[in-house]
Amino acid sequence: MSTEIVRYMIVQPLFRDVSDEDLAHIVEQGCSLVRLPRGGKLYSAGDRCEALHIVVTGRIKVFALAANGGEKVLELVGPGQSLGESAVFNEQRHGFSALALSEALLLRIPKAALLAQIGRDPGFSLRLLAQASQRIQSLLHDVESYCLHSGLQRVVGFLLNAQAEQSPAPARPHTISLPVSKATIASRLSLTPEYFSRVLRELEDEGLIQISRRDIHILQPRELASYTLQ
């Protein structure tokens, strides 16, 4: 099992510059693999945060539940991304819940192992801070989008960002595959599923995209980018 854990660790950005000796120390301090089925819960709001989790495969939904049972998706965490950076060092409990949207494999790094590695390698702490900072910046960008951008702008921005991530030539036509359901994406964008679908149909009617279930063919990227300016 330890060899398998190390094999998954060395491909993660956080551990790429960690020596073999230090990787062995981390594993010895309780690092483990967590396998979740689709719909499996990683943790619930209020649970103690005692470890950092890094997604190896699959996708994790971080969400909050309202008193009326409504759900708000806060993050969709995919391979290479992590959960729990802030809470694990602040003795905080998880503020939100997290579950797997598909079969998922995660690395679980206990707090003690992280602190020991920080003591051995200050560069590791800088990488950990950079990773946490990037995640915070992404969340702040989301808040800005919710406050300042229309629903149409949020949908178009999501499509263009997805294309930029998946395509080496984002200015050319490209097909993106939605990683999760449209309802989940709508919640992530603070939109109703009905509004999200309506905007997609509008963009399709304009000849900017073509929809095929979870595949969205972006036919005119430049025109799509300027559509919200009309």
Q: Could you list the mean pLDDT of each consecutive 10-residue stretch along the chain, which spans 230 residues?
A: 87 90 92 96 94 95 85 91 86 90 96 93 89 83 81 92 78 87 91 94 95 91 84
What residue numbers bound the domain in which 167 lies? 149-227
> What is the structure's pLDDT at 98?
96
User: Of the candidates 112, 130, 146, which is a domain's last residue?
Assistant: 146
With beta carbons less than 8 A apart as the criterion, state whether 76 and 104 touch: no
Structure tokens at 36: 């979740």
Number of separate domains in the chain: 2
Structure tokens at 64: 């909050």
Which contacts of 111-120 are long-range, i.e. CB under 8 A and separated by 24 or more positions? 111/50, 111/51, 111/52, 112/29, 112/30, 113/25, 113/26, 113/29, 113/30, 113/31, 114/52, 114/88, 114/89, 116/25, 116/26, 116/29, 117/18, 117/22, 117/25, 117/26, 120/22, 120/25
* One domain for residues 179 and 195: yes
Give the phi and the psi of residue 33 in degrees, each rounded to 5.
-100, 140
CATH number at residue 104: 2.60.120.10
With beta carbons less than 8 A apart as the criterion, state whether 85 and 136 touch: no
With beta carbons less than 8 A apart as the criterion, state whether 128 and 114 touch: yes
* One domain for residues 131 and 59: yes
> What is the structure's pLDDT at 91?
78
CATH number at residue 200: 1.10.10.10
> What is the structure's pLDDT at 90?
81
